[in-house]
A and B are shown apart, each in its own frame.
Chain A
Amino acid sequence: MTDVVTPPVRTPSSPGSRTGGRRKVLGRHPIGSLFALPYMVFVALIFAYPLVFACYIAFHDYFFTAPGVEMERPFVGLANFIDVLTDPQVLESFRNTAVFLVINVPLTAVAALVLASALNAGIRWAAAFRVAFYVPYLTASVSLVGVWMLLFSSGGLVNSVLGPLAPEPSWLVNSALAMPSIALYVTWKQLGFYILLYLAALQNIPAELHESAATDGASALQRFRHVTIPGVRNATTLVLILAIITGANLFTEPYLLTNGGGPDGASLTPVLLIYQKGIQQQNPDTAAAMGMILVIIVGLLSLTANRLTREK
């Protein structure tokens, strides 16, 4: 089924320079390709082939059959894509993702940079703080979603602290607050990872830059703006792109936290819809088309983020 990517073996052209010729063709250590072979087979089987297969499914009338049953699956051009783009549920899931990204991405970048720079100043207990920030990232979302559900339920701790200020209906069953609640949850869960990324970047800014700015009379805020922020520009690009990708991949949170994208589709996400359409409703072709559209949108957003943070 899949063509395994192996380095082609050629016979050397002239018999006189036998070993030299073979070296040129295979490299000095041909055994290296044998070492890398399992990984290449894995990539071919788990990434390359499904990628091509996804395109095939998306352009055909594809359906599940019992094993061994051969059925014709005709080419249908863009029909699946048109189905997807005219489906109000799909458009709603994209709108919900937009709400998510507008809250999650800037909040993530700002909070991670602020906390990373606070950690970076050689303070005491830095390791303990780092661990506290990092633990939610390490923990299974299913665990933490269980905790947040109880905290934010209508009779939960958050509402009992807020008292009369508690929203009605409560957070996760309120159509205006469901998606923002998920965005807050994901920001909280992932932040530790982004703090680590920023910490690595901050450690690469030469201390002299801060010192000379300080001698020139720059305040802490001015140094943050003119030394720190430009100094971590590459990390910011990475943080934005990874946050966008995470946002586009949301599944577990709406599936569990808001009971499958509720209330009334207010927190429906594209991947949740791909699962419902492709596997529950047995329409893998529309689901594959939707996946492709989603990936194109994510690609464009990431490109924009890259442009915006690029040095002028």
Chain B
Amino acid sequence: MTRTTAWWRYAILAAAALVFAFPFYFMVVGAFQQNPTNTPDEMFPREGWTLGNFTAIDSRIDLLGSLTNSLIFTAGVLLGTVTFGLLAGYALARLDFRGKSATWVLMMLVQMVPFQLLMIPLYVQITRSYGLGDTYLGMILPFLINTTAVFIFTQFFRALPKEIFEAARIDGASELRILRSVAVPMVRPALVTVLLVTFIGPWNEFLWPFLVTKDTSLQPLAVSLANYISNVAQSTANPNGAILAGATALAFPVVILFLLFQRYFTASDIGAAVKG
């Protein structure tokens, strides 16, 4: 590798990184400014710092309530995915049972079914047939078990040496016990990966909760912030700071989690998850 090519790599990467990071800088700085700027010479403000934007948006959309709703929605999905995903992943990787290949085929099909097709029937099913409009369960149900997570669990359980499982079985442990005390402790990193992969889905999801919740006190932050942007903001005197404050509140939990755990989040996991 010659010196010039290396220099070019850095130039390309740095320019791209700037394009990727700048809107975040703009968002966070604007969220804490009395008058978020739109001119380049005021991009590095020295004064005018305030928390007022957060109180401004809170007065219109109940920031804490919406964040709690986002958290309940996300926690429900995580709970379902970890409980039922571990069971299914373990069975697919380590147990020989009738219907195993059918389950595998189903998983492949699920990955291919696009949401455009499911949107209307799911809406009819959940709000009309089951009467779950404006409930947490109605929000959670379509995401309850994340298929990508089941794939990741299966992949990790398969990688464990089979002698461990045979030994545990000879000792007379039940399969549930083996899963809980042998298999799960050995795939802790997979658990973190799955939690991260699964977390961003419901936390960021807009369309589905937007469809099933009309009651504003049940809406997750993504939905109430969108309502603020599209309806309320126009009738407010200075909405820019409030929009950026809401955007920051919605963005931060995921970004922080990812930065904390990013070593668990590797290219090969993502590749494996997508390719199945």
Contact bitstring A70-97, B, C-beta under 8 A = 1, else 0: 0000000000000000000000000000
Residues of B within 8 A of A115 (CB): 12-13, 16
- Quick one: which of A116-143 are within 8 Å of B by CB? 118-119, 121, 123, 127-129, 131-136, 138-143
Taking CB as reference atom, which chain B residue is nearest A126? B13
Residues of B within 8 Å of A148, CB to CB, are: 23
Determine whether the beta carbon of B121 is less than 8 Å from that of A132. Answer: no
Which candidate, A12-20, A47-55, A102-110, is the interface stretch facing chain B? A47-55
Flag whether A192 is at the interface (Cβ < 8 A): yes
A213-246 interface with B by 8 A CB criterion: 220, 238, 242, 245
Number of A residues whose C-beta is below 8 Å from B?
102
Q: Does A306 contact B (CB under 8 A)?
A: no
Q: For chain B residues 247-261, which have a beta carbon within 8 Å of chain A? A: 247-248, 250-251, 254-255, 258-259
For B3, the chain A residues whose CB sits under 8 A away are none
Q: Which of A30, A42, A131 contacts B84 (CB 8 A)?
A: A42
Taking a contact as CB atoms under 8 Å apart, the answer to whether A47 and B109 are in contact is yes
A164 at the interface (CB under 8 A from B): no
CA distance A31 to B204 in the complex (A): 36
Greatest chain A CB density within 10 A among B97, B225, B268 is at: B97
Instruction: Please tell me if the beta carbons of B119 and A114 are within 8 angstroms of each other in the complex.
Output: no
Contacting residues, chain A, for B12 (C-beta < 8 A): 114-115, 118
Interface residues in A186-233 (C-beta closer than 8 Å to B) = 188, 191-193, 196-197, 199-201, 203, 220
Taking the nearest CB of chain A, how far is it from the CB of B8, in angstroms? 8
On chain A, the residues within 8 Å of B36 by CB distance are 150
Q: Does B85 contact A (CB under 8 A)?
A: yes
Is B54 interfacial (CB 8 A cutoff)? no
Once the chains are docked, how many angstroms separate the CA of A53 from the CA of B117? 10
Check if A135 sits within 8 Å of B116, measured CB to CB. Answer: no
Which residues from B are CB-within-8-Å of A242? 274
Q: Quick check: A278 and B119 within 8 Å, CB to CB?
A: yes
Does B145 touch A at the CB level, under 8 Å?
yes
For A275, list chain B residues within 8 Å (CB). 119, 207, 211
Give A contacts to B, CB under 8 Å.
Answer: 1, 5-8, 25-33, 35-36, 38-40, 42-43, 46-47, 49-51, 53-54, 57, 64, 67, 111, 114-115, 118-119, 121, 123, 127-129, 131-136, 138-151, 155-157, 160-161, 188, 191-193, 196-197, 199-201, 203, 220, 238, 242, 245, 248-249, 251-252, 255-256, 259-260, 270-271, 274-275, 278-279, 284, 287-288, 291-292, 294-295, 298
Lowest 8 CB-CB distances: which A-B pairs, in order? A32-B97, A32-B95, A200-B271, A7-B99, A35-B91, A140-B204, A50-B121, A29-B95
